[in-house]
Structure 1
Amino acid sequence: MGRRCGATPFMVLLASFSTLLHRYTGQEDLVLGIPVSGRGPVETEKLIGVFINTLPFRIDLSGDSTFIDLLQRTRETCVGAYAHQDLPFEKIVEHMKPARDPGRSPLFQAMLNVKNLPDTPYDGTDLLIEEIELPTRVALFDLTLELVKNGETFAGSLIYNKDIFDESTVLRMTGHFRTLLEGAVANPEESLSRLPLLTPAERRRLLVEWNDTRTDYPKDACIHHLFEAQAERTPDAVAVVSEDRRLTYRELNARANQLAHYLRRRGVGPDVLVGICMERSLEMVVGLLGILKAGGAYVPLDPTYPKERLEFMLRDANPAVLLTQSALQQKVPLEAAEIVKLDADWAAGPVEGKAVGSPLTNPAAVNLAYVIFTSGSTGSPKGVQVAHRSVVNFLTSMKQILGVTEQDVFSAIATISFDISVLEIFLPLSIGAKLVLLNRDTATDGPLLCGAIDKFNPTVIQATPSTWQLLLEAGWKNKKTMALCGGESLPQELLAGLLECAGRAWNLYGPTETTIHSTCCASLNYDGPISIGRPIANTRIYLLDSHLQPVPIGVTGELYIGGDGLARGYLNRPRLTQERFVPDCFRAASGARMYRTGDLARYRPDGNIEFLGRIDHQVKIRGFRIELGEIESTLGQHHSIRHAAVVAREDAPGDKRLVAYVVPRPGATAFAAGELRRFLQQKLPDYMIPAVFIALDAMPLAPAGKGDRHALPAPDRARPQLEKSYATPRTPIEEALAGIWTRVLGLDEIG
């Protein structure tokens, strides 16, 4: 192969090693260090001494070319570099002026060293010289591949930085290098992304063995069927509690049936959407079950959302009926669908007078159960359509994994606009457990939440890390409680607190598009990075590179999810659905799909998955998934803003917040953070309002001309955004209070 391109064995090895690093890192522009003898002039051949110089070779791997094309480019790179091999490396560094890091080599962190030594020791007139292998104790670079030509073969070793790699990773890497070389020689016309990297055994482990999650569940059942079966088994058991009110399973079933009959008369049936804008209450649970029993799918509308956002969601969903409460009617646009106030209309008779038996509806498991709106990158939220079968699979799997029974008590903390509420509400109602609803004020106040939990004594609590932090800071502790943590990344410090205060802690992961949680891990310790575990029942996880090829164990890839939990797609967004829900190329079944999460993760050797962050600009704050692009797009609608960038910063551990950077339009009036905040509050929910606004003359740019988010400045502790002038504390009590808030908020001045 090398001869065909006029390439030396070294050039073939350099192209192969570059391809390996490219496949491991995803980088298309690599710089490798190559040592050269420095004995170009004939006069230096017989001199004793060290003339070695190091050349940085820049390898272009863009465009997913074939290996033979890469080899030709590598040959040109080598020829060009060797023409300047006498230029000292120090001079190159001096000219380039790279950012220096005492712990890393400048310009490159990986080296290829191919030694071409004579087969017999050098025999001089008076000297006998031979090579003596010395043990390597210090890795000069992150990774060095050393190869020695031995006849027609090469022997070699990988020298690695133990702070970055472990032995098992490097051993796997050597196997992948060999597999890659064999594939390149066998098929040099193959594209770099398609060259084999994994051994057959590794590929089977990643794609088949670790995805063998097939489990039986009632595939033809709907969510309300699980509840109805439980109501038959334990009719007099308490189903749901809200403050001082409660309903048994018989009472809840009867009321839900009455509402279902009422909704059926108003045209609600399979795949018909019904809005529900209600505070957490017994009526809300009746509303959810009534919609499902009528065959419809519920669309939760959070009453705290701005009116403009609610109007968009209603226009997009176009529900046939909207369930609400009298106190919330002013939040609902007047032109909305037929409005039913469950508190007032129930007492007035139209609903209460309906039959208490189950309606004769026939929704199928493939029909929709709910449509939940999540943040959208284009400036508008998008509705995720989830069918009954996906939820039933999830509930059945969580019952088995968690080991919950009818003796358990679940607390419901999340708003129904957040999909983790599906677990809180329907898992207990499907197994005969008790559901305790906590109102919004209680759920967002640490001491109040702690008091409510002590009062009702739930055995299972699901919350986001932000809510768990509130509880722990309020002094909560109960070793009989199972703590479920999901919605955003679980910090190690918080896990340590949960393991100390709760009986058991679970870390749960999953996007709305794959039905609540797709993986789970029983956290037994917090030593090292926290795992999101393995897939739940009938769920497949793939970690893939940008060309949809599985990445090796320990290598970062984008997380794709397949299986029975996949949503139908996005409401009224066929193009976006096609972009995010792609064909499952690892399944032979017709129509099999997988969801592209945009999350980065890697496999551990034991098959558990480690979450590493986002591939794009989507973040989670207090458990809410936020598309930063939506905030940026909304900011751009303000008449004074020319450019906007929003990032999630964690300048203090555990304090993740949104920071907005804005460039005013020429001639705009003085920058006013308060005005921008009020503008956003009319269009976005509270959790999407940046905590800090910073004015810039221009956005920082990367060398390629793109915006450089990493160069955005940290917020100033001096609070330049105050709308009123700073007033110093006047009394000792004010000084003490200001000092407390200065420490809590991390600011220099509190007036």
Structure 2
Amino acid sequence: MYSPEFYNSIHELITKQSQTLPNAIAIKHKKESITYQDLEISTNQINAFLHNKHITKGDVIAVVMDRSIPMAVCLLAILKAGATYLAIDPSLPIDRIRYLLADSSAKYVISSKKYEALSTGYTDKILFEDAWLNRGNYPEDFLPVARGCDDLIYIIYTSGSTGQPKGVGVSHKGLINLLLYRLKAPGVCKDDNMLGLSSMSFDIAQEELYLPLISGALLTIVDREITRDGSALLEIVRAEGITLMQATPYIWQMMLEAGWDTPLPLTIFCGGEAMTNELAGKLSDRCKEVWNMYGPTEATICTTVKKITDKNEPITIGKPIENARVYILDEHLTEVVPGAEGELYIGGAGVTKGYINRPELTAEKFIDDQFSTIPGEKMYRTGDLGRRLKNGDIQFLGRKDNQIKLRGNRIEKEEIEYQLKLQKNIKDAIVTVYEDGVKNARLMAYLTLKEPLKHDGIAALTSYCKGELKKILPEHMVPSNYEVIDAIPLLPSGKINLKALPRPNIQDAVAEYAAPDTELEKMLIAIWIKHIGIHNIGIHDNFFDLGGTSLIALKTKIQIEKLTNRRLSPSVLFKYPTIQQLAAAINSVTEEPYKSLVPIQPDGTRIPLYIVHGIGLNVLRFRNLALDLGADQPMYGLQAVTDQTESLDTIEAIASFYVEEIVRQNPTGPYIIGGYSIGGVIAYEMTRQLKKAGKAVKGLVIFDAAIQIPTHQYPLLKKILVKTYRQFPKLKFRVTSFINKPKENIAYIKALYSKKFTKGFYGIHDTYGLPDYMQHVIIKFKNAFNKYVIVPYDVTIDLFSSEKVYYLDDPKFLGWKKYARHGVNVYPVSSSHDTMFDTPHHLEIARVLQQRLDELNNQ
């Protein structure tokens, strides 16, 4: 058992990591990164800046910024100043932002220049860019402020049952208690990499931000556009080596729909809404661990956890975390017997102090904890129903009241109904969730009117209501469908009879119908009908107004890509939400001139560098290297094609195809050719073919490719002799390697035999975390490599060689010395084969490669 009161603030824990791991990367966001030491210095400087603005303990500071490194610095600086932050999502309607600023009594608004207009009329505001650019004028040392663990760290606004959102104030103690528990279960360390994908105006984003930073791990932030696309999320998780990620069942389902079918070394936190056995089973098969979480904002993010170990057992929300308590009580606040249904009440360190400026609501929801031995302690009445099983786990049974959970968002339907009743001609409103014929959950509004509808009917009313609600409510709280009824149906008790509400006419819920003109528009409409479940879709109907969601957008995009053979951006349906716009956007995309050549960084006057993919087939991992080589160094990647694998069945044929791509882009040269892993062999053959054609190849750079030809190319007797003699030096290497690096060797042996077992037992090939069609290409490339007969050539090789825990006959030159007649320049790097292009290891390669490229450009 630990005591969260031992720590007064979150930033104390982060400061300790800056002292222990000063040069480790703390946060990464696209091209930018910041070390723990620089994070500490920058937050101290911005803290001093805030002191200069007379921001002190207890002040509420609103922050309107995108998820980014500057935002993280800003929030930490506010904590160090002893103040409380209110993170506001810039995508919220302006009227809602104004309400939040007024209701929270924010002393200052800190925003980026991008969102300066959102605080128009607010006199006390700060542009963060001004503070950032001038931070050098402030001291690097921390200016201490007296504080306690009960001081508020942040305010989160949730949907309100009274018609207006309500702010919850969360203390350092409550958040520290959760974070310290996370360090134990599932366990977080400096080698982890956690994905930051949630809006800071949601409570789980606070855990995403602080959990990696207090443990010395890496936080990788992604933009909002990425979170809308399961394919993009899956690609980021793979490319960045994410080990920790928390999301709602909806987002996990998006990633599964995107083709996630192979295991990843990922620990999953799932929360926000109920998890199904089906989802738990799919996730368990694809990741390291799955943890189901439960907890309201009023009890600091997470109160109970359950590690899913048997996907066939009923899913529960588990047991309370340390220093938290969950009571299951009847209407008389008496504990029910195990197995009986009751309302969940939460006590302990995570219970917050209540609602900002809502004393009556706080008194109603936060009541005296009669089971606590500590005078004055409160317990929170959740409104959730559950029962305790024999093993002590709690089974969630739904809501006692009208609160809705939709795609991970907590919605008090009374707030939507309140806003609807403010609109002209609307007498009464009922909001509920309806599942349509294709299993899409829709937010549905039933309306009674003061006056009958005019000639323009329900379509005009729907358009009007959506337009007005979007001015004040977040997007996820605006109903997608509306029905007019004569009266609200009631039970004899006077309560609303939800079961008596008429079945909504979803199929015809569109505006004026406009027929498609082209075959492409007809095809797109057919796809939308399949996934949205509405039949009469015209070319001017909006995808999201029809009930389209991020998950439906993903399914739709994937099918459009298959039928049009075009790769679409993750945000295509957000940018072009009508059939007419989408068809025009697809038609406007000119045919790509290259199938393999990818311009990673096409600008610059120096000799361009062309790098061939590794066995993973893609060139995404070279992006960081391109950025560090500078704006004047062009770099192109050669990505594997997936539609010509039958003809590209030899290294010579693959190299010839890539050479054609390069020459088409750069007919005269000169060229610098590079290759990673198996791409190094292809790059060698490309260099040979280019030189044979009279092209000027200035250099050949090989990244960790070994040219030890597989022994199955030898006659049987020679094969037996070679394999036999190799065992002696191999044994010596293995023993020495185990002594020097036991942990790495154990991990390697475990992974190696796990793959062999999987292949032998299930009859499948090594997966590399890629879909089946790419597996097919990988097998073709491996077969091509096995058939390749390499011959010596007049070339100099610059070889970057990683540290290895596996045996090689030629560990220094990786077999290249006898083939490169002009010699091999070896540059050892301290990273592994798989991590050499990952941050921060790529910096080591960039530094050496930059010097070598300078020499080649000056020859």
Q: Same fold (TM over 0.5)?
A: yes
Larger helix percent:
2
- SS of residue in 2 equivalent to 1:362: coil
After superposing the two structures, state which structure 1 stretch, 448-457 or 652-661, moved more: 652-661
User: Structure 1 residue 561 and structure 2 residue 350: aligned?
Assistant: no
- Per-residue deviation, 1:321: 1.8
Larger strand percent:
1
Corresponding residue number in structure 1 for 2:240: 456
Corresponding residue number in structure 2 for 1:442: 226
Corresponding residue number in structure 2 for 1:387: 171
Instruction: Tell me: CA distance 1:576–1:473, structure 2 relative to 1, closer, same or farther (3 Å).
Output: same
Match 1:586 to one of 327, 349, 371: 371
After superposing the two structures, state which structure 1 stretch, 311-320 or 491-500, moved more: 491-500
User: Structure 1 residue 640 and structure 2 residue 429: aligned?
Assistant: no
- SS of residue in 1 equivalent to 2:264: strand
- SS of residue in 2 equivalent to 1:741: helix
Counterpart CA distance in 2 for 1:732 and 1:260 is: 60
CA-to-aligned-CA distance 1:318-356 (integer Å, 9 cap, x gap): 2222211001111223225x2111124422x2x341111
Counterpart CA distance in 2 for 1:255 and 1:652 is: 53
CA-to-aligned-CA distance 1:646-681 (integer Å, 9 cap, x gap): 012234586322111111112454332111000100
Corresponding residue number in structure 2 for 1:675: 464
- SS of residue in 1 equivalent to 2:125: strand
After superposition, residues 138-153 of structure 1 pair within 5 angstroms as none
Counterpart CA distance in 1 for 2:524 and 2:436 is: 23
Counterpart CA distance in 2 for 1:529 and 1:295 is: 44
User: Structure 1 residue 689 and structure 2 residue 478: aligned?
Assistant: yes
Query: Is this contact kept in 1: 2:80–2:144, CA < 8 A?
Result: no
Equivalent residue letter for 1:621:
L
Counterpart CA distance in 2 for 1:312 and 1:507 is: 34
User: Structure 1 residue 723 and structure 2 residue 511: aligned?
Assistant: yes
CA-to-aligned-CA distance 1:15-39 (integer Å, 9 cap, x gap): xxxxxxxxxxxxxxxxxxxxxxxxx
- Per-residue deviation, 1:405: 0.7
Counterpart CA distance in 1 for 2:284 and 2:75 is: 34
Corresponding residue number in structure 1 for 2:403: 618
Counterpart CA distance in 2 for 1:261 and 1:710 is: 59
- SS of residue in 2 equivalent to 1:498: helix
Counterpart CA distance in 2 for 1:333 and 1:382 is: 23
Counterpart CA distance in 2 for 1:472 and 1:613 is: 25
After superposition, residues 208-607 of structure 1 pair within 5 angstroms as 214-217=1-4, 219-335=6-122, 338-347=124-133, 349=134, 351-476=135-260, 477-607=262-392
- SS of residue in 1 equivalent to 2:246: strand
Instruction: Tell me: CA distance 1:234–1:654, structure 2 relative to 1, closer, same or farther (3 Å).
Output: farther
Instruction: Tell me: CA distance 1:528–1:691, structure 2 relative to 1, closer, same or farther (3 Å).
Output: farther
Counterpart CA distance in 1 for 2:137 and 2:239 is: 35
Corresponding residue number in structure 2 for 1:200: none
After superposing the two structures, state which structure 1 stretch, 441-450 or 458-467, moved more: 441-450
- SS of residue in 2 equivalent to 1:683: coil
Instruction: Tell me: CA distance 1:368–1:408, structure 2 relative to 1, closer, same or farther (3 Å).
Output: same
Match 1:663 to one of 429, 445, 448: 448
- SS of residue in 2 equivalent to 1:569: coil
After superposition, residues 26-105 of structure 1 pair within 5 angstroms as none
- Per-residue deviation, 1:416: 0.5
Percent of paired sites with the same residue: 36
Q: CA RMSD in A?
A: 1.6
Corresponding residue number in structure 1 for 2:523: 736
- SS of residue in 1 equivalent to 2:463: helix
- Per-residue deviation, 1:622: 2.1
After superposing the two structures, state which structure 1 stretch, 246-255 or 493-502, moved more: 493-502
- Per-residue deviation, 1:525: 2.6
Query: Is this contact kept in 1: 2:343–2:400, CA < 8 A?
Result: yes
Counterpart CA distance in 2 for 1:653 and 1:458 is: 33
Counterpart CA distance in 1 for 2:6 and 2:534 is: 55
Query: Is this contact kept in 1: 2:4–2:173, CA < 8 A?
Result: no
Counterpart CA distance in 2 for 1:520 and 1:570 is: 25
Counterpart CA distance in 1 for 2:42 and 2:399 is: 44
- Per-residue deviation, 1:723: 2.4
Instruction: Tell me: CA distance 1:568–1:654, structure 2 relative to 1, closer, same or farther (3 Å).
Output: farther
After superposing the two structures, state which structure 1 stretch, 633-642 or 479-488, moved more: 479-488
Instruction: Tell me: CA distance 1:511–1:701, structure 2 relative to 1, closer, same or farther (3 Å).
Output: same
Query: Is this contact kept in 1: 2:388–2:395, CA < 8 A?
Result: yes
Query: Is this contact kept in 2: 1:326–1:344, CA < 8 A?
Result: no
Equivalent residue letter for 1:723:
A
Counterpart CA distance in 2 for 1:215 and 1:596 is: 25
Match 2:492 to one of 703, 715, 718: 703
CA-to-aligned-CA distance 1:498-555 (integer Å, 9 cap, x gap): 1122221111010000000000000123324310000001000001111101111221
Query: Is this contact kept in 1: 2:404–2:411, CA < 8 A?
Result: yes
Counterpart CA distance in 2 for 1:326 and 1:478 is: 42
Counterpart CA distance in 2 for 1:745 and 1:475 is: 20
- Per-residue deviation, 1:364: 1.3
Query: Is this contact kept in 2: 1:270–1:295, CA < 8 A?
Result: yes
- Per-residue deviation, 1:390: 0.9
- SS of residue in 2 equivalent to 1:626: strand
- Per-residue deviation, 1:735: 3.5
Corresponding residue number in structure 1 for 2:765: none
- Per-residue deviation, 1:218: 5.0
- Per-residue deviation, 1:229: 1.1
Query: Is this contact kept in 1: 2:508–2:536, CA < 8 A?
Result: yes
Counterpart CA distance in 1 for 2:129 and 2:536 is: 48
Corresponding residue number in structure 2 for 1:23: none
Counterpart CA distance in 2 for 1:552 and 1:729 is: 62
Q: Which runs of 5+ in 1 are unaligned?
A: 1-213
Counterpart CA distance in 2 for 1:705 and 1:567 is: 35
Give me the TM-score of the superposition, normalised by structure 1.
0.69
- Per-residue deviation, 1:732: 4.5
Corresponding residue number in structure 1 for 2:734: none
Counterpart CA distance in 2 for 1:405 and 1:265 is: 36
Corresponding residue number in structure 2 for 1:746: 533
Query: Is this contact kept in 2: 1:375–1:627, CA < 8 A?
Result: yes
- SS of residue in 2 equivalent to 1:479: coil
Query: Is this contact kept in 2: 1:219–1:392, CA < 8 A?
Result: no
The higher relative CO (CA closer than 8 Å, separation ≥ 6) is in 1
Match 1:630 to one of 415, 418, 429: 415
After superposing the two structures, state which structure 1 stretch, 283-292 or 582-591, moved more: 582-591
Query: Is this contact kept in 1: 2:481–2:506, CA < 8 A?
Result: no
Counterpart CA distance in 2 for 1:481 and 1:263 is: 38
Equivalent residue letter for 2:469:
L
